[in-house]
Amino acid sequence: MAKTLIGAKPNAAHQALVELEGMGRLHCIVTQNIDGLHQQAGSSRVFEIHGEHRHLHCLQCGDLLPLSPELQQAGDVPRCKHCGFPLKPNVVLFGESVRDLEAIHALIADCDLLLVIGSSAQVYPAAALPAIVRRNGGRIVECNREPVLSCAGYGETSRSDILFLQGDVVQTLPLLVRACREA
Ligand SMILES: [Zn+2]
C-alpha cells in the first residue's frame, strides 16, 4: 500500500478545504484516509482516525519512525531501533481502535455544520457522527456522487433537509468555496 500512496498529490477538493479553513469556515477535518494529503495541502487540524502511512510504529515502546524509501525497499520486517520489536505501519488495522475518538466527540458536540465529503458514511464510528451533529441541532451538507445520507432509508439521519451537493468533490468543493466567498 505504501508504494501506491507515494507520489499522490492533493487535489482541488483538498485545496478547497484549506481555503475554507483560511476563511475561518472550517474548524477541523476527520478523515478515514491514511494518505496525509490534507496536511500536504495545508490543512492544519486533521484527525486521521485510521492512522497514517508516513511512519512505522513500535507497539512495544511506542516509537514512531519515518517511513523512508530504504525501509520500503527492505525485504525483511523493520525493527525498532530502541527495543528491537518488529515495527508495523502506523495505520489502524482490523481489530484495533480508531484514533482520537474522544477529542472528536468533544469537538462534534459544538459542530453547527458537518460536511460529509466523498464518504459512504457506512464505516463506524465515523458513520455515527452525522447523527450526533443532527441530535445537537447542527446542519449537514453531503458532498457525494450519489446520495447516501440524504436518500431515504438511512435511519435517523435520513431527512430531506440534509443539503445534497451532487457530483465529484473535485468540482463541487471549489464551487462551495466560491459560494462562501460571495456570501
Ligand atoms: Zn520499540
pTM for this one? 0.84
Three cell numbers at 110?
459544538
pLDDT over threshold 90, residue 170: yes
Residue written as cell 440524504? 150
Domain count, the chain: 2
What integer is the mean pLDDT of 83-101? Answer: 90
Residue 128 has pLDDT above 80, yes or no: yes
Is the pLDDT at 180 greater than 60, yes or no? yes
What is the CA(62)–ligand 1 centre distance, in A?
A: 6
CATH number at residue 80: 3.30.1600.10
- Return the C-alpha torsion angle 105, 108, 109, 111, nearest 10: 180
Is the pLDDT at 111 greater than 90, yes or no? yes
Residues carrying an active site annotation: 50
- Mean pLDDT over 34-62 rounds to 94
Between the CA of 5 and the centroid of ligand 1 the distance, in Å, is 25
Q: Give distance in angstroms: CA of 88 to centre of ligand 1.
A: 11
Helix (H) or strand (E) holding 134: helix 129-135
Same domain for 42 and 56? no
Considering the domain boundaries, does residue 5 fall inside one? no
Is 65 in the same domain as 17? no
Mean pLDDT, range 52-80, rounded to an integer: 88
Query: Are both 34 and 82 inside the same structural domain?
Result: no
Task: Please check whether residues 79 and 105 belong to one and the same domain.
Answer: no
41 C-alpha vs ligand 1 centroid, how far in Å? Answer: 31
Do β-strands 29-31 and 46-48 pair in parallel, antiparallel, or remain unpaired? Answer: parallel
